[in-house]
Amino acid sequence: MKSILIPTDFSDYAKAAINTGITLAKKTGAELLLLHVFSAPSDWNRISVAEQQEHPENEARMVEAEIKMDKLLKNNIFKGVKASGIVRPGNVQEEVLAITKLYKCDLIIMGAHGIGESQRYFIGSHAQKILRTSPCPVLSVKKDFKPALMKKIVFAADFEENLKQPFNKIVSFLKATGSSLTLLYINTPANFKDTPTVDRAMSKLVATYPDVKMKCVVYNALDIEKGLLAFAEQNKVQVLAKVTHNRARRAGYDFGITETLLYKSKVPVLSVMVS
């Protein structure tokens, strides 16, 4: 893990993401990239100063963001961590993905909610869009998350599809945090499998990673989301990891399992996308 991107709107949710990033950076030596995207045309930095002055509201947003970013990076919390800030105009999702690609980021850490978004009803529109399209893992954290609590990770899946590519990234996160790992299959009435069948599927994944200690669990529940949340609470899980599929064309209100977890879970959700 060499580069961690943290989009920030300077809210309390973003502070939780930054604190989590600092904790990981101290363990791994990764560089932190803090990104703030302000509302303005994407070509704002390429137009002349005279043209910019015709839109003082955009210029004011840029100046305010640069001042906040500079103040943030001078905070003592970054002592011993390599961190830099980027302030860019445009669309949040597009800029996050562009920076992720440009700097070859290994992880994105985001707050689950942002300024002006209701904690009760939304997981955060920017977080949702990035979660659905990011090529690298996305760790979404809630406002009150304590980053030192990342010792028990659960990876939930159906273990039928080829999980090697996304699981490699989860293993990287696992090693970076020094966490234990539980492979979890939620057995539901609608998609019931007997324990030997699930054990065989899990064993294939375990055998591929002999250097990683994993515990395998089958948990019975009426539906997947409720089962995951119940298991997490009963076992004091500190991070829920889930493979998600590209949902870029789905409506925002059409939640997938990973998004539902992020909405309802009290613990961070690590999402790894497969196409």
Q: Region 16-20: what's the mean pLDDT? A: 92
Q: Are residues 116 and 224 in the same domain?
A: no
Q: Are residues 164 and 268 in the same domain?
A: yes
User: Taking a C-beta distance cutoff of 8 angstroms, is the pair 22, 60 a contact?
Assistant: no
> Mean pLDDT, the chain, as a whole number?
84
Q: For the whole model, what pTM was predicted?
A: 0.86
For residue 98, being part of any structural domain is answered with yes
Q: Are residues 171 and 204 in the same domain?
A: yes
Q: Are residues 119 and 10 in the same domain?
A: yes
Q: Are residues 115 and 227 in the same domain?
A: no
Q: Which residues contact 260 (CB under 8 A, 6 or more apart)?
A: 225
Q: Are residues 158 and 129 in the same domain?
A: no
Indicate the pairing of strand 269-274 with strand 138-141: antiparallel
| Residue 13, domain extent | 3-141
Task: Compute the distance between CA of residue 59 and CA of residue 125 in angstroms, rounded to an integer.
Answer: 25
For residue 220, being part of any structural domain is answered with yes
What angle do helix axes 224-234 and 257-264 make, rounded to 10 degrees?
A: 40
For residue 147, being part of any structural domain is answered with no
- Is residue 203 scored above 80 in pLDDT? yes
Domain tally for the chain? 2
How much is the pLDDT for 115? 46
Q: Are residues 110 and 30 in the same domain?
A: yes
Quote the strand ranges of the chain, DSSP E.
Answer: 3-7, 31-38, 83-89, 107-111, 138-141, 152-156, 180-187, 214-220, 239-245, 269-274
**Residue where one domain finishes, among candidates 100, 121, 141:** 141
**Residue where one domain finishes, among candidates 112, 141, 170:** 141
Of 52, 16, 21, the residue nearest 34 (C-alpha): 21
For residue 146, being part of any structural domain is answered with no
Q: Are residues 170 and 56 in the same domain?
A: no
Residue 201 sits in a domain of what CATH number?
3.40.50.620
Q: Are residues 118 and 9 in the same domain?
A: yes
Q: Are residues 170 and 130 in the same domain?
A: no
Q: Are residues 123 and 243 in the same domain?
A: no
Q: Are residues 207 and 104 in the same domain?
A: no
pLDDT band at residue 274 under the 50/70/90 scheme: confident
Range in 177-181, 187-191, 245-249, 266-270 with the lowest mean pLDDT: 245-249
How much is the pLDDT for 126? 65
pLDDT band at residue 122 under the 50/70/90 scheme: very low
- Is residue 156 scored above 60 in pLDDT? yes
For residue 90, being part of any structural domain is answered with yes
How much is the pLDDT for 143? 79
- Is residue 22 scored above 80 in pLDDT? yes
For residue 256, being part of any structural domain is answered with yes
* Residue % of the chain over a pLDDT of 90: 41
For residue 244, being part of any structural domain is answered with yes
Per-residue pLDDT tens for 35-89? 999 888 777 777 777 777 777 888 888 889 999 999 999 999 999 999 999 999 9
